[in-house]
Amino acid sequence: MSTLLFYNFKGGVGKTTISVLAADHLSRTGKKVLLIDLDAQASATLFLKNSYGNIVPKRSLYNSLQKGSLRPSIFHLDKNLDLIPADWDMSLWNQSLEKLPQYDRNLVLQKLIQPLKDDYDFIILDIPPTLSTLVNNAVLASDYIILVLQTQSASYEGVLRTAKYLAQLRKDYDARFKLLGIVLYLVSKSANSDTTIANEARKTFGDAIFANSIYHRERVKRWSNEGLTHKPNDVHDRRTHKMYSLFLKEVLFRIGEDK
Ligand SMILES: Nc1ncnc2c1ncn2[C@@H]1O[C@H](COP(=O)(O)OP(=O)(O)OP(=O)(O)O)[C@@H](O)[C@H]1O
Ligand SMILES: [Mg+2]
């Protein structure tokens, strides 16, 4: 079992979209997947609600985190795909963590995920774009972290700062998570400038950059508003899924699960 986290402090770089598409693709290839939406904005939950209909867990994630067991918050969506949805009350979690001793407060999620590990091949965490105790919890509960770099606002210092921050957290907690690499989210209008930006990023970060990037595709917007579709005769559906699946293949390859 592996826990995956798509990470960036910055908002709106495509983390949630990649997390949802990763959950969709991995579950469709026969992996058992649990997506945990830790973001009070609940964008992943909304995306999946638009795809699967109402999502009503027995207990909210926030209550489960307080009570010490996540199971009552798991909602079954599809063959191989479960979700722990987020709700507005997740905005209270950070503050409630502050009551715990400094060291322990970052390890709550890691402990609560542990008993679920045998039930899944992948647990994917979706987090808000903050530097917070909540996000520290997600980092320390992860096995693999993938940095998402939106190249339009190409904040290379941001990536370096992020890597430094993660390294410090890893040291303080003697954690084992691995930085799997950096995925580029290319949002420029022309293929030419995409190539230039991607080449520059490769010069700076070398092999850390995934060979397969995510491009801006209108279809993604439609999916998040109207629900995910997999229409074999629809060229935009096919192309957009192909883009995410090539990237995810590379993720599995880097993890060592590409067999
Ligand atoms: N490949 C893509 N093509 C087009 N639009 C995209 C793509 N990926 C994400 N988007 C859109 O960009 C916006 C931000 O994406 P998303 O919510 O996934 O980012 P995020 O990093 O999770 O944001 P936040 O930091 O607020 O959680 C959304 O409107 C989403 O539909
Ligand atoms: Mg998000």
Mapping DSSP to helix (H, G, I), strand (E, B) and coil, where does residue 77 land?
strand
pTM of this prediction?
A: 0.96
Does 152 contact ligand 1 (Cβ within 6 A)? no
CB of 214 within 6 A of ligand 1: the answer is: yes
Among the four given CATH numbers 3.30.470.20, 3.10.129.10, 3.40.50.300, 3.40.50.620, the one describing domain 2-255: 3.40.50.300
Mutate to test the pocket of ligand 1, among 6, 16, 152 (most ligand atoms within 8 A of CB): 16
Q: Is 13 in the pocket of ligand 1 (CB under 6 A)?
A: yes
- pLDDT tens-place string over residues 104-115: 999 999 999 999
* Main-chain phi, psi angles of 245, to 5 degrees: -70, -35
Closest ligand, as measured to the CA of 149? 1
For the chain, give every domain's residue range.
2-255
What are the tens digits of pLDDT across the range 182-237?
999 888 777 788 788 888 888 888 999 999 999 999 999 999 999 999 999 999 99
State the Cα–Cα distance between residues 230 and 244, nearest whole angstrom.
13
Band of pLDDT at residue 161, cut at 50, 70 and 90: confident
Ligand 1 atom nearest to CA at 12: 23
Partners of residue 34 on adjacent β-strands = 82, 123
- Atom of ligand 1 at shortest distance to CA of 185? 1
Q: What is the pLDDT of residue 53?
A: 96
Best substitution site from 17, 126, 189 to test ligand 1's pocket, by max atoms within 8 Å of Cβ?
17
Number of other residues whose CB lies within 10 A of the CB of residue 233: 6
